[in-house]
Amino acid sequence: MVSGHSPSHSLASELVESNDGHEEIIKVYLKGRSGDKMIHEKNINQLKSEVQYIQEARSCLQKLREDISSKLDRDPGESHHRQEIQVVLERPNGFSQSPTTLYSSPPEMCFGLKVLLLPTVQDREGFVCQTPRELVIGVSATCVQRCESLRKTVRDLLAKLQEAEQQHQADRVAFEVTLSRYQREAEQSHVALQRAEDRAERKEVEIRELQRRLLGMETEHQALLEKVREGEAALEELRSKNADCRAEQEKAAHLEKEVAGLREKIHHLDDMLKSQQRKVRQMIEQLQNSKAVIQSKDTSIQELKEKMAYLEAENLEMHDRMEHLIEKQVSHANFSTQTWAKTENLGSVRIAKPPSPKPMPLIRVVET
């Protein structure tokens, strides 16, 4: 047996050629998913039954050749006729290697074809003795032409189907690569957005703490200003009452020192307040920048989602086109098989309908 396997991943065909003839069996292997297990088993059973039928037909043909040979051996009167029929019977399936030799050979060379097409042994024996040899030529040529046409149609359909599936597989791989890249970018954007939100929350907590401290510092500042005003009022009162009193002067000097210290403290508090205000302004600016970054990340994520939806729509449209192409090819193959069956008048040769093509896988994008 000579076999050949195609390089496709999901569809493979095998052309088997027998050692004793031109009989060719085209085996199609379908690699299905778990959901298509029943259909796959049904197709396998159908192919097994067809192979068994072909093997039974081959054994019947071999037995018929032996019967005709034994009958011719028992009839010594027609030695020339027996030699011509023996030449035909020794060839695979009763006909020569190519259709052109049928036309160039004499009518006696095609006698074996007519005999092989009869259903029973008795009909074959009667046909050997009664049928004119001139009727065999047209039947042989028609059978060969139809067989060649059917084989060519099946090979063309298999080639087109494999080419379409390879194209679909390439598009699917490209789509999966693009989809994985978009998903990876979306995940990175989501992680960056989460980090920015965490930083913004920490900044808000720090800002609230600084505002609370500023409020306490402002309260303390107001209290110190009130004390300064009270000290200045008391100093002016002491100066007006007794300018010559030493004790009052010392007290006034002491109060002046206290006022100077309080002023320095107020000045220091003013510097601290300004520094804290600058820090608060910087924190507010950073928070605004973080919010702007978050908004830009949200916009990028929305654009990625739109691109993913667009790619999903393209995938669905491509899947519909593939189904339409496969249905068109299958309908064309069925029409050729039915036309051949209607015009056939002799024999009981049965052509099995090719198994229906496997549905293409549908890719759906799940948003996370």
Same domain flag for 134 and 210? no
Q: With contact defined as beta carbons under 8 Å apart, do 100 and 157 qualify?
A: no
> Residue 282: what residue type?
Q
Same domain flag for 73 and 28? yes
From CA 115, how far away is CA 131, in angstroms rounded?
9
Same domain flag for 137 and 184? no
Q: Please count the structural domains in the chain.
A: 2
4 in a domain, yes or no?
A: no
79 in a domain, yes or no?
A: yes
Same domain flag for 299 and 213? yes
Q: With contact defined as beta carbons under 8 Å apart, do 10 and 358 qualify?
A: yes
6 in a domain, yes or no?
A: no
> Residue 287: what residue type?
L
Tell me the helices (H) and strands (E) count for the chain, helix number first.
Answer: 7, 2
Same domain flag for 263 and 296? yes
Same domain flag for 206 and 280? yes
Q: With contact defined as beta carbons under 8 Å apart, do 325 and 164 qualify?
A: yes
* 157 φ/ψ angles, rounded to the nearest 5 degrees: -65, -40
How many of the other CB atoms lie within 10 Å of CB of 197? 14
pLDDT per residue as tens, the chain (368 positions): 333 343 344 444 455 555 555 455 555 444 444 556 677 677 777 777 777 777 777 787 777 778 777 766 765 544 544 454 454 444 444 444 333 333 334 444 344 444 444 444 445 445 444 444 444 455 456 666 777 777 787 778 778 778 878 888 888 888 788 888 888 888 888 898 889 889 889 988 998 898 888 898 889 889 899 988 888 888 888 777 766 677 777 877 888 899 999 999 999 999 999 998 999 999 999 999 999 999 999 999 999 999 999 999 999 999 999 999 998 888 877 766 665 555 554 444 444 444 444 444 444 444 44
Same domain flag for 150 and 244? no
From CA 132, how far away is CA 139, in angstroms rounded?
13
The reported pTM is: 0.25
30 in a domain, yes or no?
A: yes
The set of residues, in sequence order, having a beta carbon less than 8 Å from that of 286 and lying 6+ positions away, is 203
354 in a domain, yes or no?
A: no
Same domain flag for 330 and 267? no
Structure tokens at 211: 């505002």
Q: Residue 14: helix, strand or coil by DSSP?
A: strand
User: By residue range, what is the domain housing residue 71?
Assistant: 11-166+323-343
